[in-house]
Structure 1
Amino acid sequence: MKSKVISALVLLAPLMVMGPLTASAQDGAGHCNYVQQNMFAGPFKVCDAPATPEKCAELGKTDDNKDAVHSAGACGTDGKVGVCDMGDAGKRFYYEGDPGGLEIGCGFQGGEWKAG
């Protein structure tokens, strides 16, 4: 249970600092692959979409995140643990982490978790 709570917190901490993906991110095509990490949990390999190059650079500097790379097109689906679909705010693809904890954190973001 503790690991699920920690995983949920890792999802919430970046939102407290920078908020969910914004409409401006949706205006540009592409996605952002990065390593998400903060004082609660991680590191996790993730991909946010849609994301502009500017949003990707911001994601790479938030908390202890690193290795942010913007690319055109959609996030890859091979090897994903699941996706947090936040509707108009975008999607966050997780390639690492405990699915149960990630699902809890996704719910706190107002998203819908889709495993695998």
Structure 2
Amino acid sequence: MAFINPTRFEISIRMFSMDKEASEVFYEGEDKTIFSGSTQVIPDIKYFQLSRENKKEFDEFYENNDIEIEREEHKAFTEWFYECWKAAQGHKMNLPSYFVIHDHYKSLDLRANKWISDDEKWE
């Protein structure tokens, strides 16, 4: 799941292990090769710096264009993540894999490279 904060220019990515009931899966055993729960893949990082003198101007611009900015920002991060997943050969994992932007109801099915609803994902 990607957490993107466009007004603070930050992104973090967390990976979750989920079951078909949309619940997080945990493992209590000793085998360290088994992933369960969640893990921080990328901590809060700034992807852009804005000078203080430009902050007010940006805030006004963002307020007037937030829908378009977020749409383009989400598109850019989704494409970047998908390309990284392909380069890491994520398709070789025989598990469903999705990219989700926090608080959104659609997910990118990474194996099929198409957007699906939460209902489709958990059915």
**TM-score computed with the length of structure 1 as normaliser:** 0.29
Which has the higher relative contact order, 1 or 2, with Cα contacts under 8 A spaced 6 or more apart? 1
**TM-score computed with the length of structure 2 as normaliser:** 0.28
Give the number of the structure whose alpha-carbon radius of gyration is greater: 2
